Amino acid sequence: MREALFSASFFILRGRKMKFIHTADLHLDTPFDGIKNDLETPTSLWQTLKNAPYKSFQKIIDQAVNQKIDFMLIAGDVFDSKNQSVKALSFFIEQINRLNDAQIPVLLSFGNHDFQPDQGKHFDFPANVFIFPKEVTTHELTLHDGKRVAVTSFSYPSQAVTTDLVQDFPLKGNADYQIGMVHGEIGKDGKDNYAPFTISEMKSKGYDYWALGHIHKRSELNQVPMIEYPGDIQGRHKNEVGEKGYLLVDDQNGHLNKTFVPTSTIIFSPMTIKVDENMDITMVVNKILITLKDQDFTELHLINLTLESQTGEFSEDVSQRNGHDFLISNLQRELSSQYEILNAWIYEIKLKSNSKKEFSNLDQVFWNQAKVEVFSKENIADLAGKLFVDDFIRNEFNSDESANGLMQKSEELIKSEMKGVDTDHAD
């Protein structure tokens, strides 16, 4: 009954073209992997970090109301877990109630993180929210100008959905716009745990737009029709770099257009600073602070820093392990009173040497042969074992970039151990 009353009230004319928000992967209550909640990290910084997804979603709601959008799509993983904290649930209901007051419908599906065995029936969501069940279902909206929009989707009843449910999506009907919403990823042989699909089958349905979720990097899989990942609304670790936000979609002369709108309050960012072997820890810290000041960040940046040697070597107090630990501790002590002014916090430092030192010719041949076989994604996955059940660990290491990083780090460690050994005369 309440949905019928809400639908009837939605015929109020607004005198404008269709406009909707596509968002996904809010991950309220995210744990923020990789950032230590220790004595070196200011309490205020940690609280800002924990509140970041909430702030980002609140910005999305603010803009939805101000722009008077027609509806909002949330493509899975509103929450970081199937069991929500009181804070996360009450905050989400408070925000979607603001959309209810503005007569803006919300079409929501649950993903692999916030899967609901009872399909969310226990949630006391307001009348403007339609939750897609586990079965492929189409929900239709009538817009202010009489146009009809049909949205087809499903929710996860468990943590894994191994079947290709897009096959069950109907062909485009007689709605003016048909949208498919899927929390999933392109099918991968033997690893299809997240609603696998193919681009070709999506295109074959004749839909006007595909609203995707699950992949946290913003990306466009196809232009006509648009098949879009908006990415998550707040980076959660160092692999989720750059601005995060949502996609604003509108129609121009019958064609859909998208605009990315950033809303994240914290940005994960890599940074490289060049130093030389004559610089001790104090000099390095000063150069880092000067560099951060010159960036003039307007949003808080969480930085994993690479120090690159211009000469191929670092000073001894920087390169030694205890020196490296002292470096980051010294730097964070300086930043603790300045990070809010600089809008920057460095949580990780790596050293990169451009040293020309090599193995002996024979050792280099064996290393070149072995590293290709040893540092394969398959071997890394086998070594990690059950650790890859965790999304963060799997995303961190299941890539060519990570394999190359492990290979480079191993080579540096081997060469470090060989330092001072006369390899030309080794037994």
**pLDDT tens digits for 92-125?**
999 999 999 999 999 999 999 999 988 788 898 9
> Which DSSP state fits 81?
S
Mean pLDDT of 32-59: 86
pLDDT on residue 325? 83
Are 133 and 154 spatial neighbours (Cβ–Cβ below 8 Å)?
A: yes
Q: Are strands 266-275 and 300-309 parallel, antiparallel or unpaired?
A: parallel
Output the CA–CA distances (angstroms, integers) from residue 75 to 114, 128, 169, 210, 214, in the order listed. 11, 16, 16, 10, 8
User: From CA 72, how far away is CA 102, in angstroms rounded?
Assistant: 12
Whether residue 2 has pLDDT greater than 70: no
Render pLDDT for 259-301 as a digit per residue (tens, 0 to 9). Answer: 999 999 999 999 999 998 889 999 999 999 999 999 999 999 9
Tell me if residue 65 falls in helix, strand or coil: helix
Q: Which of 101-105, 184-188, 395-399, 414-418 has the lowest mean pLDDT?
A: 414-418
Residue 357 CB: number of other CB atoms within 10 A?
11
What are the structure tokens assigned to 26, written together? 């809010």
Give the whole-number percent of the chain exceeding pLDDT 90: 63
User: Which amino acid appears at position 225 of this protein?
Assistant: P
Closest CA to 99 of 133, 139, 132, 58: 58
DSSP string across 180-229: EEEE--B--TT---B--B-HHHHHHTT-SEEEEES--S-EEEETTTEEEE
Render pLDDT for 332-354 as a digit per residue (tens, 0 to 9). Answer: 999 999 999 999 999 999 998 76
> Chain-wide mean pLDDT for the chain?
85
pLDDT on residue 145? 85
Tell me if residue 246 falls in helix, strand or coil: strand
Cis peptide before 225 (omega within 30 of 0): yes
Render pLDDT for 75-95 as a digit per residue (tens, 0 to 9). Answer: 999 999 888 899 999 999 999
Helices (H) and strands (E) in the chain, counts: 12, 15
What are the structure tokens assigned to 134, written together? 């586990």
Whether residue 132 has pLDDT greater than 90: yes
> Which DSSP state fits 348?
E
User: From CA 372, how far away is CA 354, in angstroms rounded?
Assistant: 22
pLDDT on residue 253? 80
Position of tokens 């003016």?
A: 176
pLDDT on residue 65? 98
Instruction: Report the predicted TM-score, pTM, of the whole model to 2 decimal places.
Output: 0.80
User: From CA 216, how far away is CA 238, in angstroms rounded?
Assistant: 12
pLDDT on residue 97? 97
User: Which amino acid appears at position 165 of this protein?
Assistant: L
Whether residue 375 has pLDDT greater than 80: no
Mean pLDDT of 207-229: 97
User: From CA 72, how far away is CA 101, in angstroms rounded?
Assistant: 14
User: From CA 353, how far away is CA 309, in angstroms rounded?
Assistant: 5
> Which DSSP state fits 171?
P
Are 309 and 354 spatial neighbours (Cβ–Cβ below 8 Å)?
A: yes
pLDDT on residue 424? 33
User: Which amino acid appears at position 203 of this protein?
Assistant: K
pLDDT on residue 14? 42
Report the sign of the C-alpha dihedral through residues 33, 34, 40, 41, in that order. negative
Are 393 and 385 spatial neighbours (Cβ–Cβ below 8 Å)?
A: no
More confident call, 259 vs 14: 259
Whether residue 382 has pLDDT greater than 70: no
Beta-carbon contacts of residue 160 (< 8 Å; ≥ 6 apart)? 112, 193, 194
> Taking the C-alpha atoms of 374, 375, 379 and 381 in order, what is their torsion angle to the nearest 10 degrees?
160
Domain boundaries, the chain: 2-262, 266-351, 357-421
Are 22 and 247 spatial neighbours (Cβ–Cβ below 8 Å)?
A: yes
pLDDT on residue 419? 44
Pick the CATH number of 2-262 from 1.20.140.10, 1.25.40.80, 3.60.21.10, 3.30.470.10: 3.60.21.10
